[in-house]
Amino acid sequence: MDKYVIHGGRRLCGSVEINGAKNAAVAILPAVILSDSPCRIENLPDISDVKNAAYILEEMGAAVSYPDRHTMEIDPRPIATHTVSAGVARRMRGSYYFIGALLGRCRRALVPLPGGCDFGVRPIDQHLKGFEALGCEHSLDNGGMISVTAPHDLHGAHIYLDVVSVGATMNIMLTAAKALGVTVIENAAREPHVVDLANFLNTMGADIRGAGTDTIKIHGVQQLRGGTYAIIPDQIEAGTYMLAAAATHGDVTVKNVTPKHLESISAKLVEMGVTVEEGDDSVRVVCSGQLRKCNVKTLPHPGFPTDMQPQITTLLTTAGGISMVTEGIFSGGRFKYVDELRNMGAKITVEGSLAVVEGVPMLKGAPVRALDLRAGVAMVLAGLMADGVTQVENIKFIERGYENIVDKLAGLGADIHLQRTPDSYGSNYRLG
Ligand code: EPU
């Protein structure tokens, strides 16, 4: 099994470039099928979730080419199906965006239930409620394939989301972009990738206003055309490197970011005694003293992102005092990784959605597992902070969302390398 081997205790210094946003890319690639002509998508991260989305497009019949590692040209015109086969689609959460996009394209979709990180139950009832309001019916077969069909025209509707859902907001937007009339999504998610999808659809000719607020208004249009679009920088990748700098008492400039998207993360670092200097498209993180405790609650944007919860909990394991971390998005708690941190000497107790973290002087290197994408990268942070050697197993999870993490960290001075086992060479990498 492939693993990362980390000799901890090195101070990270220098600069690191952030790639395009995974959670924008996995929605924008399916959105391309709404277009009646080719699209060129730039600043795509080179990660397995993006390769999987591209694979699904090719499997459906789209012509996909790769002018360079971060750019795809996609001609959706040859697509003659409304089905996404199981397999690759089950490996990723974002495959559910093919439902919204196929409905907009041809008013029917047959798509497997999505996969993705396991944080307990992750329903899609709000997506289905939205599709229903737009004129669709749905059913689920025994094989886990979900069928959504509009027997008549798609029509605009007023939709109030019962929970703030990134996926439901974006999926409804994809279908409503081509529905007749006006759709209003209330209690919409405001994450940067929601805005990025709306901007992409608008460059294709859609009429979407209010993305980034909790009310989004969509005037449906008949036709969307292709074009060129560059994806925003990844908020969570950037935040992870900011915390890596703080975790190693380093001095790191994180480049190619939107500092506004990082404010909730910067605010917590400052509370912990870290200096954060904002540039136009960079943030410099400098940490010289001991980290101070702080309390964190994850919330929808602009609150502290749930996708940074495992990383900040890890950082707090060596902060002075007792910190409380509350998971406010996923009721399952998203705290399974805490057992791995305990193996490294962390003192954490978890009750439901609350983790109480008592700072210890130092973590100790140990063999640990990546349990999901962000929990996995948190183990990398723990390894960088720890005394001794940490081996992180199950790194396929981390490769879903972090491009070149080993080279990027090594470039900042970390002692980390990838140990491949012969039978895993190339697994999952035919996909792009
Ligand atoms: N929810 C429902 N019903 C729904 C949809 C969501 O009850 O129909 C609940 C969820 O169970 C959760 C909350 O609403 O408690 C928020 O879920 P949301 O729909 O926002 O999450 P998601 O669309 O499944 C996306 C990201 C996640 C990220 C969350 C929250 C993608 C592909 N995934 O998931 O990203 O944690 O939003 O910001 O965009 C990651 O990148 O590591 C990751 C897990």
Q: What is the pLDDT of residues 366-419, one digit of tens each?
A: 999 999 999 999 999 999 999 999 999 999 999 999 999 999 999 999 999 999
- Residue from 122, 195, 377 whose mutation best tests the ligand 1 pocket (most atoms within 8 A of CB): 122
Q: State the chain's maximal CA–CA distance in angstroms.
A: 64
Amino acid 428: pLDDT: 41
Residue 197 token pair: 């999808």
Amino acid 1: pLDDT: 84
pLDDT digit string, tens, across residues 87-133: 888 888 889 999 999 999 999 999 998 876 776 778 899 999 999 99
Which amino acid belongs to residue 410?
A
Amino acid 119: pLDDT: 66
Residue 6 has pLDDT above 70, yes or no: yes
Amino acid 176: pLDDT: 98
Confidence band for 432, pLDDT divided at 50, 70 and 90: very low
Confidence band for 429, pLDDT divided at 50, 70 and 90: very low
- The neighbour count for residue 267, using CB atoms within 10 Å, is 13
For 329-335, which contacts have Cβ atoms below 8 Å and span 24 or more sequence positions?
Answer: 329/298, 329/299, 329/300, 330/119, 330/120, 330/122, 330/306, 331/120, 331/121, 332/119, 332/120, 332/121, 333/119, 333/120, 334/119, 334/306, 334/309, 334/310, 334/375
Amino acid 116: pLDDT: 67
* Residues contacting ligand 1 via CB (< 6 Å): 22-23, 26, 93-94, 117, 122-127, 163, 165-168, 189, 306-307, 329-331, 373-374, 401
Q: Which residue, 164, 161, 280, 178, is CA-closest to 225?
A: 178
Ligand 1 atom at minimal distance to the Cα of residue 331: 15
Amino acid 104: pLDDT: 98
pLDDT digit string, tens, across residues 69-92: 999 999 999 999 999 998 888 888
Ligand 1 atom at minimal distance to the Cα of residue 114: 24
Instruction: Round the average pLDDT of the chain to a whole number and report it.
Output: 95
Residue 348 token pair: 């954490």
pLDDT digit string, tens, across residues 300-327: 999 999 999 999 999 999 999 999 999 9
Distance between CA 256 and CA 258 in Å, rounded? 7
Distance between CA 233 and CA 47 in Å, rounded? 14
Residue 208 token pair: 């979407």
pLDDT digit string, tens, across residues 220-262: 999 999 999 999 999 999 999 999 999 999 999 999 999 999 9
Å from CA of 166 to ligand 1 middle: 6
Distance between CA 18 and CA 257 in Å, rounded? 7
The partner residues of 17 in beta bridges, in order of sequence, read 255
pTM: 0.96
Distance between CA 210 and CA 378 in Å, rounded? 34
Residue 136 has pLDDT above 90, yes or no: yes
Å from CA of 315 to ligand 1 middle: 24
Confidence band for 426, pLDDT divided at 50, 70 and 90: very low
Distance between CA 105 and CA 35 in Å, rounded? 8
- Residue from 160, 232, 329 whose mutation best tests the ligand 1 pocket (most atoms within 8 A of CB): 329
- Residue 267 has phi, psi (to 5 degrees) of -60, -40
> Which residue is catalytic, options 117, 136, 287, 294?
117
Confidence band for 423, pLDDT divided at 50, 70 and 90: low
* Residue spans of alpha helices (H) in 317-366: 338-343
Amino acid 2: pLDDT: 94
117 is catalytic: yes
